[in-house]
Structure formats: structure tokens, C-alpha cells
């Protein structure tokens, strides 16, 4: 990126960072949740690929609530995949603790759907 928005100036003496801190913090929360679940389910979680995207691509006529995540089951040539959407999750959380809980609920829900399991078997919240 070139131009006045990316050059150092009085409001950005070091330039513009490549990744906004909020995105990096969100990614850290997602990784922490995956590690928490791994402690419970073991290597089974390694069969799932995880990603974070800013928001889902929805059709113009979408009338349901914006999803927090989406998942795709495994195929012969691809692993199962869960994509967590950062902006909808951030919008519906009221603080850092609530954000971590919402990310955990979202990922556990998607895994339960993929694995056809009870969410309490994945994370009982003891």
C-alpha cells in the first residue's frame, strides 16, 4: 500500500501496522480455545482446519442472523474446516471474557455439528 494513509505522519509516526491489534488478539483467543479443546479431545481436533475471516460473504437477500462461523465436513481431498467470523463475534460480545466464551461456544458448536456429537462431550465447562 502506498500513499498518505500508509506513510509515517504525525498520527502514525511508525506507519500503519500490517495486522490490526484487534485481529491478532482475536486470532490468539481462537488458538487458545483450540488448545483448550485439544486438551479434552486429543489429536482428533488436528483433523479439522481452522481459519478466521473478517466477516461472512452473504447474499443480498439474506434475512437470518449473521453467523459467527461456518463449517464444511471433510471430503476425500480436503480436511474438515471451520471458519470463525471475527466481526460478528466481536459485535455480539461485551468484553474480553465474554468474547472468549462466545468463541468457545461457537467452535464447540461447529465441532459438535461436524462430529455429530453432544457439545458437552467436547467441552463440559466443568
Domain boundaries, the chain: 21-120
Read off the pTM: 0.80
Q: Residue 120 has what pLDDT? A: 93
The pLDDT value given to residue 14: 61
pLDDT value at residue 101: 94
CATH of domain 21-120: 3.30.2010.20
Per-residue confidence (pLDDT) for residue 2, from 0 to 100: 47
* Largest separation between any pair of C-alpha atoms in the chain: 54
Low-confidence ranges of the chain (pLDDT < 70): 1-21, 126
CB 52 within 8 A of CB 84: yes
Cα separation values, 81 from 1, 46, 60, Å: 31, 11, 25
pLDDT tens string 88-99: 999 998 888 889
Q: Report the alpha-carbon distance of residue 89 to residue 115 in Å, rounded.
A: 23
Amino acid at each position: 500500500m502506498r500513499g498518505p494513509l500508509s506513510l509515517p505522519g504525525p498520527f502514525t509516526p511508525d506507519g500503519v501496522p500490517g495486522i490490526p491489534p484487534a485481529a491478532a488478539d482475536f486470532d490468539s483467543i481462537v488458538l487458545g480455545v483450540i488448545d483448550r479443546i485439544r486438551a479434552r479431545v486429543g489429536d482428533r481436533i488436528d483433523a479439522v482446519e481452522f481459519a478466521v475471516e473478517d466477516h461472512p460473504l452473504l447474499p443480498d437477500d439474506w434475512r437470518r442472523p449473521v453467523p459467527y462461523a461456518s463449517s464444511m465436513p471433510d471430503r476425500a481431498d480436503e480436511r474438515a474446516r471451520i471458519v470463525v467470523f471475527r466481526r460478528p463475534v466481536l459485535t455480539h460480545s461485551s468484553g474480553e471474557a465474554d468474547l472468549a466464551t462466545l468463541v468457545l461456544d461457537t467452535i464447540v458448536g461447529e465441532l459438535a455439528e461436524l462430529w455429530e456429537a453432544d457439545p458437552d462431550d467436547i467441552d463440559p465447562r466443568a
